Amino acid sequence: MGAEGRERGARRTPGRAVGRVVAYAACGALLLTGCASMPDNGDLRDVESTPRQDTQVRVFAMPPRDDAPPAEIVQGFLEALTSDDPGYSTARQYLTDRAARRWEPERSTTVLADGPATEADPASSREGGDDFSFVLTGTRVATVDAQQSYAPASGGYDQPVHLTRDKKTRQWRIDALPTGVVMGKSDFQRNYVSVNKYYFASNTKADAAGRPTAVADPVYVRERVDPMTQMVRSVLTGPTSWLRPVVRSSFPTGAALPQGVTSLTPDDQNKLTVPLNDKAAHIGQGKCDEMAAQLLFSLKSLNPTLDEVALRAGRTQLCSLSEERAATVASRGSQNSPGYLYFIDGQHRLARMASGSGDTKADPVPGPFGDGAKALRSVAVAHDEHSAAGVALDGKTLYVTSTLSGSSVGDPVLESKGKTETDRLTTPSWDAHGNLWVADRDPAGPRLLLLEKGGGEPLRVLTPGLDGRINAVRVAADGVRIALVVDKGGKQTLLIGRIERGVGDGTRPAMSVQELRSATPELEKVTAMSWAGDSRLVVVGREAGGVEQVQYVSCDGSFPEAGTLPGLAEVTSIAASEDSDIPLFATSKEGLLWLPGGSGWRTLKEIASVAFYPG
């Protein structure tokens, strides 16, 4: 389970290397290296990726035994990489002194579909020789870079490992090896955990209360190797490269933990005190509060019970921020609960029901969208729930109106020239600053558009690198990221882009969506999606040759955090709030459905074609 679920108190049960536990317990210890002697030529057995289990257990590596043959040295090293050894100190014992000094395991982690397979190089197996070579092979799934940022990957993995025999000790050691760490997918899921660190949007204005907007930056840390200290260092280091152009950190340049600080732990009052070097010694109160908010948001995605963060420099406390007061320092999408769930009823009108109360009584929305003055195909309600944008039933025109009684529809704010309904306007989406986003799918001029404050001359948003036609648009509450379902050759993929605002002509900004990346690399068809947290989405889709599924995905494209949700057939829409305490809703051939507590979908009496929360 990822950061979103943990912060709401969800229980995570990482696996352990059970197969190895049983095998090595027979040798009298819980080890990661083999018990029996291994051949010094021929092929090694694969380093199998261990299955996830329910029992949490720390796994430690065993150093190389005397006179271990080359195959056992390589095997022991690879398995040591999957242990909970904080500094990979045991893994380094399988290397020559020079290789141990030069090896940088933090530079990258390569994730393979299964554990790395190993093949001996026959040319290096001369009897009595002092050199031996192997090749590690596998199928790439992902990489985690030095910034702890996850990226899906594909293709083959093929890297050499060279061993030499020490002239004095006559022990085999690895003297040339691949960059970073390599392991199978299951071992990665056991060893690493996805967490959100937070920065502030730099390309949008503060909200009405003057608070900056907190933006989640998902990263992976080693779960049982002091993850809290890892997270603090990661926040201080700064945002990942993908997010950096649109966010800022309130920590001054050079701020870091003082030398000698190796571990941070909350006290018995769930308060964490974070010491900083003298770079942070002279900051003001407002800036210090923002720094504490960044750390509190980040650490709560790892430890939901944390209540307060204090910062100090030397012996001076700079500030202290509680969870309650953090909400006054910065706004955050997942903290804003919607008042209503909205849906289009069987008469193409906009209706709503109270959100999160368990009351499923529906009423028409006040104003023209609810009284049937305009038949609607799709609608988006602004985050303040005072305005709504609706696409007419034929998909050709877009209207914006108030959700207050007595308001009128007025003239359309946008029209598409597409010849068919599927070649016209997508469902619109509001960002947190009251701007409206929509795509026109007209094949003669497909475009992504922004209507500032929901009106005026549409501003065309540049989409460099976009390959395909946009089927759906959903802007994150932070206003920094946008989710697009893109169709290319019949394959529908969910892409996440970074929203950049340039200077433009001086009167209007130049808008663009940069560095689109897939959030669903394993899915062939995405039919519906919605943001469901600060860095996750819920999607409806299927793999090639598979059946349609409902599941959570992270915006960085990493593994689904909680597996597949209860299934549905022929889903037409999925509604999730960035406040993950609010239940999921969906529409299908069965009508309007909801998922209370994750126990199973329940069908409501209302007929609905589309359901959604504000945004």
CATH number assigned to the domain comprising residue 359: 2.120.10.30
- The least confident of 349-358, 491-500, 524-533 is 349-358
Total domain count, the chain: 3
* CA dist 73 → 34, 159, 170, 428 (Å): 10, 16, 13, 58
Q: What confidence category does residue 17 fall into, taking pLDDT thresholds of 50, 70 and 90?
A: very low
pLDDT in the model for residue 2: 67
Break the chain down into helix, strand, coil percent, rounded to 5: 15, 35, 50
pLDDT in the model for residue 563: 63
Residues 594 and 522 in one domain: yes
Q: Average pLDDT of 517-530?
A: 94
Q: Average pLDDT of 172-198?
A: 96
pLDDT tens track for 584-607: 999 998 899 999 876 789 999 889
Residues 227 and 368 in one domain: no
Residue predicted with more confidence, 63 or 13:
63
Q: Domain containing 304: what range? A: 202-329
pLDDT in the model for residue 126: 64
Q: Average pLDDT of 22-41?
A: 35
pLDDT tens track for 103-118: 999 999 999 999 999 9
Domain boundary, last residue among 300, 329, 358:
329
Residues 350 and 441 in one domain: yes
Q: Which residues of 36-69 are buried (b: 16+ CB within 10 A; e: fewer)?
A: eebebeeebebbbbbeebeeeeebebbebeeebb
Domain boundary, last residue among 329, 359, 375:
329
Q: Average pLDDT of 225-254?
A: 97
- The least confident of 126-140, 230-244, 392-406, 555-569 is 555-569
The pair phi, psi for residue 206, each rounded to 5°, is: -65, 160
pLDDT tens track for 415-453: 999 999 999 999 999 998 899 999 999 999 999 999 999
pLDDT at 334 over 50: yes
pLDDT tens track for 147-159: 999 999 999 999 9
509 inside domain: yes
Cβ neighbours around 305 below 10 Å, total: 8
pLDDT in the model for residue 581: 83
For the chain, the average pLDDT equals 88
pLDDT in the model for residue 57: 66
Report the DSSP beta bridge partners of residue 132.
Answer: 163
pLDDT at 327 over 70: yes
Place of tokens 């860095």: 535
pLDDT in the model for residue 6: 64
pLDDT tens track for 184-196: 999 999 999 999 9
Identify residue 383 by its one-letter amino acid code: H
What is the pTM assigned to this prediction? 0.88
User: Which among 491, 480, 554, 532 has a CA at the least distance from the CA of 242?
Assistant: 480
- The least confident of 310-314, 354-358, 564-568 is 354-358
- The least confident of 196-205, 261-270, 273-282 is 196-205
Residues 348 and 318 in one domain: no
pLDDT in the model for residue 203: 75
Residues 321 and 175 in one domain: no
Evaluate whether 325 touches 308 at the Cβ level (below 8 Å): no
pLDDT in the model for residue 13: 32
- The least confident of 204-208, 354-358, 583-587 is 204-208
341 inside domain: yes
pLDDT in the model for residue 578: 87
157 inside domain: yes
Residues 206 and 146 in one domain: no
Q: What confidence category does residue 357 fall into, taking pLDDT thresholds of 50, 70 and 90?
A: low
Residues 210 and 184 in one domain: no
pLDDT tens track for 475-516: 998 999 999 999 999 899 999 999 999 877 777 889 999 999
pLDDT at 519 over 50: yes
pLDDT in the model for residue 4: 74
197 inside domain: no
Helices (H) and strands (E) in the chain, counts: 9, 37
Domain boundary, last residue among 329, 357, 377:
329
pLDDT in the model for residue 511: 94
pLDDT at 30 over 60: no
Residues 26 and 149 in one domain: yes
Evaluate whether 110 touches 157 at the Cβ level (below 8 Å): yes
99 inside domain: yes
Residues 456 and 397 in one domain: yes
The per-residue DSSP string of 558-579 comes to ---SS-EESP-SS--EEE--SS
Residues 71 and 121 in one domain: yes
528 inside domain: yes
pLDDT in the model for residue 540: 95
CA angle at 189 for the pair 183 and 190, rounded to the nearest 5°: 90
Residues 71 and 206 in one domain: no
Report the DSSP beta bridge partners of residue 312.
Answer: 275, 317
Residue 132, C-beta contacts closer than 8 angstroms, at least 6 positions apart: 40, 70, 120, 121, 124, 125, 162, 163, 164, 172
Residues 73 and 124 in one domain: yes
- The least confident of 73-82, 227-236, 277-286, 565-574 is 565-574
